[in-house]
Amino acid sequence: MRNLVQRISSQIPLWGRLAIVIFIAITIPTVIAFVLIERELRVTDLDNLRSYITFQGLERRDDVNAFFNATTLAMSDFANDSSNRNFLIRLMGFNSSTQSVLDGLVQAIDSNLTETGLFTQVELMDMDGIVLLSNTNFVRGQRVPVVPLGTDKSGDLAYQTAQNASLTNRESSLIAISVADNPQVQIVYMISNVEGALGYIVGTINVQTGLLPRMFAEAGFIESNSYLATSDGAVITQADYFQQALQSAQVSPILDALVQDSGTQVYRIGDASYVAHYTPIENTPFALITETPLQVSFAQNLQNVILQFPLIIFALFVLWLILTILTNLSLAQPLQELAQVTQAVSEGNYEMPISSLQRNDDIGILARTIANTREQIQTLLSDLQTRIQVRVRDLQATQEVSRFAATQREPQALMDKVVDLISHSFPNIYHAQIFLIDDAGIFAILRASTGEAGRNLLARGHRLQVGSQSVIGRCTDEARVVIARDTLESDVHRKNEFLLETRAELAIPLKVGDKIIGALDVQSKFRDSFNEEQVNILQTMADQIAIAIENTRLYQESLRRLEELTISNRVATRATWVEYMNYRREATLSSQFSIGTPVKSNQTLRESVLTQGIAIIGQKTDYNTIPFAVPIQLRGQTLGAVEWEFPASDFSQEKVQLAMELVGRLALSLDNARLFEESQRAIERERLVNDIAAKLTTQTEIDAILQTAVREVGQALRVPMVSINLALTKAAGETSEIAPIRRTVTSKLPQILLDDDDSSANGHSE
């Protein structure tokens, strides 16, 4: 059966199977029609719900209006009763508060107002808001305390409402005061005579037993709630609905009702939707809102009826089962197989069989398309892997060149290593070489080359002129990459007897900034061998090679200059100390210190240290000591040596190290002392010259100047005798017979001014 269905379905195109499925699924429009009908029923149900809530709202409005009218009429009847009016005028007009007046009014208030259940409290006050009489009834089973006579209530809302009523010539006015657990509604009635207003009656309406039962009259089969609200936010309703009414008052159309408008509206309170009727209460500041949740629906009954049809549900299930089997056999399984093939391709498996390739329908076309796509992906991935391997190889070669260039300090070793790396890293390159331009900028001279051919070219000093008709000549002259893609057809390639296999040549300039220092030349045995990617890689290598060559050149130059500077410092240091020793007129300076056995100088050890310039440890002496000497070195010049003898038992390498450090400090200290002495001598010379010059400038005669000069010079140089000769002789070629003029001045200093130093005992200066 399954094979038959597959054979039949494989011969039918996809649109045919879809037509069959649509025919089988004809019940779907039926369901859609049912949904539309059910939605229409809900719309009709909403209209019915609006009508129902409107009826409830109007009915409760009439009950509330009737209650307020009854309270107003009761207050009017009480005030207009002749006996009650007589008592009121006597109390308010003549301030008569006799017991008979008060008792009469209390009895009348109880019988006409409080005991009827319309009011819970009645107060009488004058025009200034002073309480003249207060009477209450039982409220919630307890008697509320009577307001004391004389209480000032001019600040209450009731008094302010009474004042407004008197200004507008109204006899009564309704006010509302809503507290969470104590909603109050009061009626203010004005008492007046021919002379004007005398006072007010303030009656507090019985909300709990009088007003609320009319707002929550017996409801129908749909539960609804009502509340009274004012424009200033006062809400009057049952205690258990008070919080809900406060939320509703924020969104319900209260203001529309307060402008004497009525209607219904749907709004949301929290997460629930409500439908409400709003209407004003005539001659009061109240709007009556009657609301019920929107989910209450007449259509619920219809849904309950529908659920009673198990046969329809069973039929739909059977129909769904049939559609599932047909869809699975004709579409789902082949598509699932194709999905598995696609998933296998994403995981790298390109060998999973596809059984739908022989189908003639749209699924067969899709299967063949997937198979072709799989082959293309496999080909592309293989090519991509090859390219990635090539790129990785190129990057590794570039990295290796960079690493070697960064660590190599010898230019020739650097170039030899680089050309070897290039020829071994790129399979299509069989020969690589580096040319450097000479100092004159005329020739590009071969400096590094690979293989036997490279050795032969280096041996004969291969060079190419810059700007010549060759790849290297063009590259070094024009500072650009030059490629000979086919040497048999290229006019820039110059044949070489050692490189006869070359079919393609590439030269890349080696640049440091804007200066061309040479070229990197690579050659291949295959024509058109260098693609753009390889040229870019080799260009990067060439830039690194140029920088590395320049760095090695600068490094070698710095070493050479450092060596010259070291030699110069050593020569200068030696000359300075030779001059210093000559000044001291001493061949050597030495000092000795010993504890116990006197130190015996080891001439051989000292000469070895002075000759070699290194510390040397001698052989153990007869005194069981070990001598060693350390050279005194300053700026690479050995000035002398320090010799030690340590007891053999106390000798250690740490002491040798300490001695070497001390000698290093000694060399610096000696040089600092020499510099200090030289600076002191220079200062003394400058002082003597300035003193002599100052004494000479004060003299105006030549004899006095000469006498001062020989005396001061003799004292400064500490010599026993100084003479100055001034002589004018005949100049060369002069024929005059004038006799020569000569003047001699001699000064002999007293012995007490002479120095005892041997260096000045026989001094003489002319």
- Of 153, 188, 209, which one is at a domain's C-terminal end? 209
Q: Which helix (H) or strand (E) holds 129?
A: none
Asked if residues 548 and 540 have their Cβ atoms less than 8 Å apart, the reply is: no
Q: Would 490 be classed as within a structural domain?
A: yes
Are 413 and 552 members of one domain? yes
Cβ neighbours for 217, distance < 8 A, ≥ 6 positions apart: 59, 60, 63
Give the whole-angstrom CA distance, residue 137 versus residue 123: 12
Which CATH number goes with the domain that contains 245?
3.30.450
Number of domains in the chain: 5
Token readout for 700 is 């105006």
Are 594 and 630 members of one domain? yes
Are 245 and 257 members of one domain? yes
Are 92 and 56 members of one domain? no
| Nearest by Cα to 289 from 327, 241, 328 | 241
* Strand 482-484 versus strand 131-136 pairing type: unpaired
Asked if residues 183 and 120 have their Cβ atoms less than 8 Å apart, the reply is: no
Total-model pTM: 0.39
* Strand 287-293 versus strand 225-229 pairing type: antiparallel
What does the buried/exposed string (b/e) look like for 674-702 if buried means 16 or more CB atoms within 10 Å of the residue's CB? beeeeeeeeeeeeeeeeebeeeeeeeeee
Which CATH number goes with the domain that contains 657?
3.30.450.40
Token readout for 469 is 């008709």
Q: Would 629 be classed as within a structural domain?
A: yes
- Of 267, 293, 319, which one is at a domain's C-terminal end? 293
Asked if residues 580 and 587 have their Cβ atoms less than 8 Å apart, the reply is: no
Are 75 and 196 members of one domain? yes
pLDDT in tens, 608-667: 877 887 888 888 887 788 888 888 888 777 878 888 888 887 888 888 888 888 888 887
Are 428 and 551 members of one domain? yes
Give the whole-angstrom CA distance, residue 699 versus residue 712: 13
Query: How distant, in Å, are the alpha carbons of 215, 236, 239, 549 from that of 208?
Result: 11, 10, 10, 106
3-state secondary structure of 748: strand
Q: Would 744 be classed as within a structural domain?
A: yes
Q: Would 682 be classed as within a structural domain?
A: no
Q: Would 648 be classed as within a structural domain?
A: yes
Query: How distant, in Å, are the alpha carbons of 224, 512, 565 from that of 670?
Result: 115, 48, 22
Are 554 and 415 members of one domain? yes
Asked if residues 204 and 161 have their Cβ atoms less than 8 Å apart, the reply is: no
Token readout for 530 is 């260098």
Are 529 and 435 members of one domain? yes
C-alpha neighbours within 13 Å on the C-beta side of residue 64: 29
Asked if residues 439 and 462 have their Cβ atoms less than 8 Å apart, the reply is: no
Which CATH number goes with the domain that contains 178?
3.30.450.20
Are 142 and 255 members of one domain? no
Are 614 and 712 members of one domain? no
Give the whole-angstrom CA distance, residue 123 versus residue 106: 10
pLDDT lower than 50: segments of the chain? 14-15, 138-141, 298-299, 301, 305, 741, 752-766
Q: Would 571 be classed as within a structural domain?
A: no
Domain membership of residue 722 as a residue range: 699-760
pLDDT of residue 79: 87
Q: Would 48 be classed as within a structural domain?
A: yes
Are 642 and 526 members of one domain? no
Q: Would 185 be classed as within a structural domain?
A: yes
Residue 426 burial by Cβ neighbours in a 10 Å radius (0-12, 13-18, 19+): buried
Are 142 and 189 members of one domain? yes
Give the whole-angstrom CA distance, residue 582 versus residue 614: 26
pLDDT of residue 433: 92
Q: Please give the backbone phi and psi of residue 680, each rounded to the nearest 5 degrees, phi first.
A: -65, -40
Terminal CA-CA length for the chain: 145
